[in-house]
Amino acid sequence: MAPEGANNSVNAGDSANVENLTDGFHLLIDALKLNGIETIYNVPGIPITDLGRYAQASGLRVLSFRHEQHAGYAASVAGFLTKKPGVCMTVSAPGFLNGLTALANATTNCWPMILISGSSEREIVDLMQGDYEEMDQLAIAKPLCKAAYRVLHAEDIGIAVARAVRSAVSGRPGGVYLDIPGALLGQVMDAVEGEKSLVKVIDPAPRQVPSQDAIARAIDVMKGAKKPLIIMGKGAAYDQSDDAIREFVEKSGYPYLPMSMAKGLLPDGHPQSAAAARSLVLKESDVVIMMGARLNWLLSHGKGKQWGEPHSKKFIQIDIDPKEMDSNVEIAAPLVGDVGSVVTALSEAMGNDWPKPPSDWTDAVSTKVKTNVERMSANLQNNASPMNYQGALGALRRVIDERPDAILVNEGANTLDFARSIINMHKPRKRVDVGTWGVMGIGMGSAIAAAVETGHPVLAVEGDSAFGFCGMEIETICRYKLPITVVIFNNNGIYRGDDENWSGGEDPATTTFVPDSRYDQMMEAFGGTGVHVTNPDELYRATAEAMDSGKPTLINAAIDPAAGKESGNIGSLNPQSVVAQARYGAMKKN
Ligand code: OXT
Ligand code: ADP
Ligand code: MG
């Protein structure tokens, strides 16, 4: 709480000239608006409740959530979709900590976000005298985000917001923490001086053009390729250089692999897409161009049996962060710069008669694609009840095929991994999912941001466990009347719903839920539409109707509890031991 004597109170006699004054509340709001911020995702409470009210009164859209983690996920996805920092506002200590998960996740995903948290006064925190919600938030935030700042004086708010905006979007985007002690908001100063203290950031995310030498080196490596491959990541989607990317990929004639949130940069099903030949192209390629994608765990760090013989490939890497080069394997041609500037320079250097890759390579890839696509499509045409993932996702694939502007939000394990390869994306930045960390609970915040920032209808395809991390936000969705359809794949548990308690005791297995829950009735409790479906035909009809209605809807899709695999496609990451295998191997399902 504000210590006595701070210059934060206006004497009764001064009220006559109060119109010549401004305060910390309004300097912060004006600084955010001056830098193009239009929306705040928050949870009210001491000391920011009035800040939210004043921001709303000043024309900012202020959405209040039920938990700060989801307000934070919304802010981070707003950053991914708009290239402007998404802003999340929280109370001190517990609210700050709830938001911190989202800030760290934004930083991991390289998405621009600013977490603004109220905090306790330095004088009390630094002596650890037990303030209300006392915590040294700045120190705790610093290791978990890209940059962190604290403001103590009203006249510094303008420069602080400018620093936060530039830090969030420049270079490799990321999360920034801005610490606002409660007393700062109540400080007053001369309005004219206050206006002068505000800073509008000039060119916060400058294009970073690659050197000609780097381009020449990369072209040289490309010229030697017999089995080239391009891997596009969410950094390429974020860059919003869609035409330049497509021109480069098509000019090269190279097969490409989109990582999950790069799907749609070129429409899935594009003749050069190798998504349905993933294992083949990773193993057999000889030159790999990484475009805004890291060689991290999602790509087995660029090594191991998935990648064929060790050192059998040359990597070209396009990344705005020079430190990403050589992170996992040697990069033969590092291209430091933003994706748009790099692919434009590459396309120019390739001239107008760039030779297509050898047909034995492209034919091998397209043959494998055709085989896998045919094998998968055979499984999608089923109307089985209880549903399996293929039948349910075959229905939702049609819904998205018919609504290419809709945004798909997706989380779970099987619900995620099957949807990624079954639901085709037709345009850039139309798929938002668990990102680099594989975080459960991103669904509702992401759906809210997608609806608010784009105005398009949103389809959130949620595992029932994943939904459990964020389900209370369906009240937020109903309160703001957002065009969001939530489809819950209810298989009664995490990964599957038929596990048993191996002790034979009364308690349910550790991965199962109440069987046959009716999540749709939760939605009805908040005035939304709830639907329960048991087969793909019903699922298709209910989802299409919901998407076209523009109304908050939750569809509870009963999925066969035995249909899933442990951890979906990444079961191999689970630790094993011969002892555990000997004791329990026979009891484990799938
Ligand atoms: O080439 P081959 O022949 O090999 O074939 C490949 C492709 O070519 C082919 N393919 C196609 N064929 C035909 N047509 C098309 N269109 C096509 N596309 C591809 O298919 C195969 C496979 O291709 P794919 O899928 O592209 O590639 P692959 O090998 O899978 O790629 C590897 C990866 C790693 C890139 C990919 O698997 C991936 O991106 N995985 C992401 C994994 C992930 O992040 N999962 C989420 C986390 S799992 C776990 O952590 C969970 N938790 C723990 C937890 C978490 N995460 N967070 C928090 C806060 N607390 C706890 C929990 C609790 S998941 C979870 C909940 C799970 O339960 P739910 O109820 O929510 O969900 P259900 O599982 O449904 O019950
Ligand atoms: P994915 O999970 O889709 O493979 P990653 O999150 O692993 O993608 O990689 C994203 C990479 O993109 C990061 O290394 C980041 O530095 C980079 N990046 C982010 N924005 C840009 C941009 N505008 N231009 C170039 N690289 C970018
Ligand atoms: Mg489940």
372 lines ligand 1 (CB under 6 A): yes
Question: Which atom of ligand 2 is nearest the CA belonging to 208?
Answer: 24
What is the residue-wise DSSP string for 507-558?
SPPTTB-STT--HHHHHHHTT-EEEEE-SHHHHHHHHHHHHHHTS-EEEEEE
CA of 339 to the centre of ligand 2 (A): 9
Assess contact for 40 and 89: CB atoms under 8 A.
yes
DSSP H helices, 389-483, are: 389-401, 414-422, 443-454, 464-468, 473-479
CATH 1.20.1560.10 fits 6-197, yes or no: no
**Over residues 331-349, mean pLDDT:** 98
As a CATH number, domain 212-367 is: 3.40.50.1220
Instruction: Kindly state the helix (H) or strand (E) to which residue 100 belongs, with its residue range.
Output: helix 94-109
**Over residues 464-477, mean pLDDT:** 98
List pLDDT tens digits, range 120-179. 999 999 999 999 889 999 999 999 999 999 999 999 999 999 999 999 999 999 999 999
380 lines ligand 1 (CB under 6 A): no
Question: Which atom of ligand 2 is nearest the CA belonging to 338?
Answer: 24
Query: Is a pLDDT exceeding 80 seen at residue 3?
Result: no
CATH 3.40.50.970 fits 381-573, yes or no: yes
Nearest ligand atom owner, CA of 320: 2
List pLDDT tens digits, range 41-83. 999 999 999 999 999 999 999 999 999 999 999 999 999 999 9
pLDDT confidence of 381, banded at 50, 70, 90? confident
Residue to substitute in 82, 238, 432 for testing ligand 2 pocket (most ligand atoms within 8 angstroms of CB): 238
Report the DSSP beta bridge partners of residue 232: 258, 291
List pLDDT tens digits, range 180-238. 999 999 999 999 999 999 999 999 999 999 999 999 999 999 999 999 999 999 999 99
276 lines ligand 1 (CB under 6 A): yes
Q: For residue 497, what are the CA distances in angstroms to 112, 156, 532, 576, 589? A: 37, 55, 18, 22, 11
Residue in 16, 68, 76 with CA at minimum distance from that of residue 42? 68
CA of 446 to the centre of ligand 3 (A): 19
Distance CA 179, CA 315 (A): 41
Q: Find all residues with CB under 8 Å of 267, minimum gap 6, and list them.
A: 424, 425, 426, 427
Question: Which atom of ligand 1 is nearest the CA belonging to 489?
Answer: 75
DSSP code at position 13: G
Distance CA 14, CA 25 (A): 19
DSSP reduced 3-state for 272:
coil
Q: What is the pLDDT of residue 16?
A: 57
513 lines ligand 1 (CB under 6 A): no
Ligand 3 ion local residues (Cβ < 5 A)? 463-465, 491
CA of 410 to the centre of ligand 3 (A): 13
- For the chain, give the mean pLDDT: 96
pLDDT confidence of 589, banded at 50, 70, 90? confident
CA of 328 to the centre of ligand 2 (A): 15
Assess contact for 364 and 254: CB atoms under 8 A.
no
CA of 541 to the centre of ligand 1 (A): 26
Q: List, by residue range, all CATH 3.40.50.1220 domains of the chain.
A: 212-367
**Over residues 371-387, mean pLDDT:** 93
Assess contact for 75 and 105: CB atoms under 8 A.
no
CA of 333 to the centre of ligand 2 (A): 17
Angle among Cα 240, 242, 243 to the nearest 5 degrees reads 135
CA of 22 to the centre of ligand 2 (A): 41
CA of 220 to the centre of ligand 3 (A): 48
**Over residues 513-517, mean pLDDT:** 98
Q: List, by residue range, all CATH 3.40.50.970 domains of the chain.
A: 6-197, 381-573
Q: What is the pLDDT of residue 10?
A: 45
pLDDT confidence of 376, banded at 50, 70, 90? very high
Q: Find all residues with CB under 8 Å of 154, minimum gap 6, and list them.
A: 22, 23, 24, 27, 184, 187, 188, 189, 194, 197
Residue nearest to atom 59 of ligand 1 (CA): 440
pLDDT confidence of 14, banded at 50, 70, 90? low
**Cβ < 6 A, ligand 2 pocket:** 109-110, 172-173, 233-235, 238-239, 259, 261-262, 292-294, 296, 298, 319-321, 324, 338-339, 436
Tell me which of 11-15, 30-34, 283-287, 477-481 is least confident: 11-15
Query: Is a pLDDT exceeding 80 seen at residue 368?
Result: yes
Residue in 305, 306, 304, 169 with CA at minimum distance from that of residue 240? 169
List pLDDT tens digits, range 160-173. 999 999 999 999 99
